[in-house]
Amino acid sequence: MTDVLSELLPPSESRHSLSEPDWLHEKRQEAGQAVKELGFPNSGIETWKYTSLHRLKKVDFRPAEIADSTADTTVMPKLEIDNSKEKTVIFINGFFREDLGTYKNTVAGIKIEPLYNNSNMLEKNQEFISSYSNDAFAALNLAGFSDGISIEVDDNALISETIRLVFIGEHRDPLLRNIKNIIQLGQNAQLRLIEEYRSGVSDFGLTNVSTNIVLQEGARLNHHRLQNEAISSSQIAKIVASVEANASYNSDSIVLGGQLTRLEIDVALTGERATCRLNGLFSGSGEQHIDHHTTVRHQVGDTHSEELYRGILDDKSRGVFNGKVVVEKDAQKITAKQASNNLLLSRTAEIDTKPELQIYADDVKCAHGATIGQLDSAALFYLRSRGISEQKARALLIFAFAEEIINTIPVDNLRSNLERRFIGHNQMSELKSEAC
C-alpha cells in the first residue's frame, strides 16, 4: 500500500549522479517536503473531482533506479518504426538508452540529449524545473526525476525528419518513473515530434511525466502523443507550453492503453497570432480511466485556439474531459473553438465532460460544444441488412467517429496503426487510395 504520496519519494542517496548542481539538489529537497505536505490529490480538489487515485494507492511502487534501465529488451513491446522517415530516441524505465535509438546528433539545426547530463539546459530552465505550485505530482516529479529528453531546435531550422521519442516501461516490480522533458524551438523553427509511451504486458508501473515546451516567434511544433501502454500501467502527465507571436502548437493526444491516464495540457498564447490546435482521441474499455484537462490561455489579442476531443468508452471505462479557456483582459479579437464528442458503447461506461470559459475581454469569439451519444442503431441495422456482421458494422461506425482525428495525423505509420486498431485490418486505406 502507498497510502502516503511521500512514500514514492526516492531515498536521496539513490541519485544516479553526484554531479547534480546544488540548486537542483536544494529544489529537490524542497519539492520532497512539498510532496509530504500535499499528499495524494483527492476529489475535494476541483481538477481531481472525477479522477480517483484509489487504485494507485493500492500499489507498492518503488522509484525506478538506473539499474532498471537494463531491463530485458527481448520482452519489450514491438515498435513499428519506419526508419526511412523517423529517428528514434528510446528511454527504458525513465532512463535514456542511447544504444537502442536510431537518432544521432548529426542532423543540422537540432540537438537532442538526455536532460540530466545537459547542465546547460538544466541551468537555462531552472525556473520551469523548479516550479510545481501546488501540484503534488509535479513536486514528486521534481523531487524524483531520473532523466528525460532535452530537445533544442535552432532559429530557422526546419527539421524534415520526424523525431520519435519512445518511453518504454517494463519491470516485474511496480516502478515509479519520473520523467522530465524540455522542448525548445527557436524562431521560425519547425519540428514534428512523436512522443510515445509503451509498456510490457506484465508492467504495473506508474509514469509521472512533466514536459515543458517553448515555441519562440514563428516556430511550429507538431506534437503527436500516443499513450499505448499496457492495460496494467498508469500515467500522470503534464505539458506546459508557451507559444510566442506567430508560433503554432499542434498537438494530438491519442490514449488507447493504460489503466489510469491523466494528461494535463496547459498552453499559453503569449504573442499576437499565436495559435494552438489541441486534438484528442481516447478509447477505453474494461476499467480504464482516461482524463484530459486542457487549459488554453489567451494572454494577448489576436490569438487563436481550436480543440477537438473524441472519446469512445466501452465496458466500465470512464473518461474525463475538462477544457478550460482563459481570455485575459484586453486580449481582443481572439477566437477559441472547443468540441468534445463522446461515444458510449455500454451502459456502464461514463464520461464527464465540461467546458470552462473564463473571459475577461469583450471582443472575442468563443464556441464550445459537448456531445454524448451511442452507436446509431439505425445505421447499425442498415449496415447489417447489407450483409455486414454486427461486429464489423460496429467497428465501421466507431472508426467513422474516430477518423476525423486519425486523419489529422500526418505520419503514415502511426495513422495506419490506428486504423488497424479500430478497424481490425488496413483495407480502409488500401481501398481509399484505389477508389479515388
Partner 1 sequence: MLEIKNLHVAVEGKEILSGINLTVNAGEVHAVMGPNGSGKSTLSHVLAGKEGYEVTKGSILFKEKSLLDLEPEERAGEGVFLAFQYPIEIAGVNNVYMLKAALNGIRAYRGEPELSSVQFLKMVKDKVKAVGLDEGLLNRQVNSGFSGGEKKKNEIFQLSVLEPTLAVLDETDSGLDIDALKAVADGVNKLRIATRAFIVVTHYQRLLDHIVPDFVHVLSQGKIVRTGDKELALTLEERGYDWLAEENLV
Least distance in angstroms from the C-beta of 391 to partner 1: 10
First vs last Cα of the chain: how many Å apart? Answer: 57
Pairing of the two strands 206-215 and 175-185: parallel
CB 95 within 8 Å of CB 66: yes
> Of 260, 269, 344, 428, which one interacts with partner 1 (CB under 8 A)?
428
Q: What is the rounded distance in angstroms from the CA atom of residue 294 to the CA atom of residue 309?
A: 10
- Asked if 347 interacts with partner 1 (CB under 8 A), we say no
Check: CB of residue 352 under 8 Å from CB of residue 50. yes
Judged by CB under 8 A, does residue 367 bind partner 1?
no
Query: Which position among 201, 389, 410, 412 is part of the footprint of partner 1 (CB under 8 A)?
Result: 389
Indicate which single residue of 42, 348, 381, 412 sits in contact with partner 1 (rule: CB under 8 A): 381
Cα–Cα separations (whole angstroms), residue 205 to 10, 319, 400: 15, 21, 33
Q: What is the DSSP string of 223-266?
A: EEEEEE--TT-EEEEEEEEEE-TT-EEEEEEEE---SEEEEEEE
CB of 11 to partner 1, least distance (A): 53
Taking residues 396 to 425 in sequence order and writing x for each that binds partner 1 by CB under 8 A, - otherwise, the string is xx-xxx-xx---------------------
Q: Does 430 bind partner 1 (CB under 8 A)?
A: yes
Q: Decide if residue 383 touches partner 1 (CB under 8 A).
A: yes
Contact 383, 393 (CB under 8 A): yes
Per CB under 8 A, the list member of 49, 111, 324, 392 interacting with partner 1 is 392
CB of 100 to partner 1, least distance (A): 38
CB of 402 to partner 1, least distance (A): 9
Between 234 and 253, how does the x/- string for binding to partner 1 read (CB under 8 A)? Answer: --------------------
> Is residue 385 involved in binding partner 1 (CB under 8 A)?
yes
Residue 299's SS3 state is coil
DSSP code, position 169: E
**Do residues 359 and 366 touch, judged by C-beta distance below 8 A?**
yes
Minimum CB distance to partner 1 smaller for 19 or for 385: 385
81 three-class SS: coil
Which segment (14-22, 109-117, 348-356, 375-383) binds partner 1 by CB under 8 A?
375-383
Q: Which stretch binds partner 1 (CB under 8 A): 22-30, 211-219, 229-237, 386-394?
A: 386-394
| Minimum CB–partner distance for residue 31 and partner 1 (Å) | 46
CA 225 to CA 193: how far, in whole Å?
A: 8
Least distance CB 307 / partner 1 (angstroms): 20
Q: How many whole angstroms from its chain centre is CA 227?
A: 7
Our measurement of the distance from residue 116's CA atom to the centroid of its chain's CA atoms, rounded to an integer in Å, reads 21
Q: Which stretch binds partner 1 (CB under 8 A): 215-223, 330-338, 365-373, 381-389?
A: 381-389
| Least distance in angstroms from the C-beta of 310 to partner 1 | 11
Nearer to partner 1, 265 or 312 (CB): 312
Sheet with 364-373: strands ordered across: 95-96, 86-92, 162-169, 190-199, 220-228, 248-255, 275-284, 304-313, 334-344, 364-373
Please tell me whether residue 379 binds partner 1 under the rule CB under 8 A: yes
Supply 433's cell numbers: 487510395
Please report, to the nearest 10 degrees, the dihedral formed by the alpha carbons of residues 422, 426, 430, 431 taken in order: -50
**CB 390 to partner 1: min, Å:** 7
Residue 164 or 310: the one with the smaller Cβ distance to partner 1 is: 310
Cell of 29: 529537497
Largest separation between any pair of C-alpha atoms in the chain: 70
The piece of 28-36, 156-164, 318-326, 378-386 that touches partner 1 (CB under 8 A) is 378-386
Which residues of this chain interact with partner 1, rule CB under 8 A?
376-379, 381-390, 392-393, 396-397, 399-401, 403-404, 427-428, 430-432, 434-436
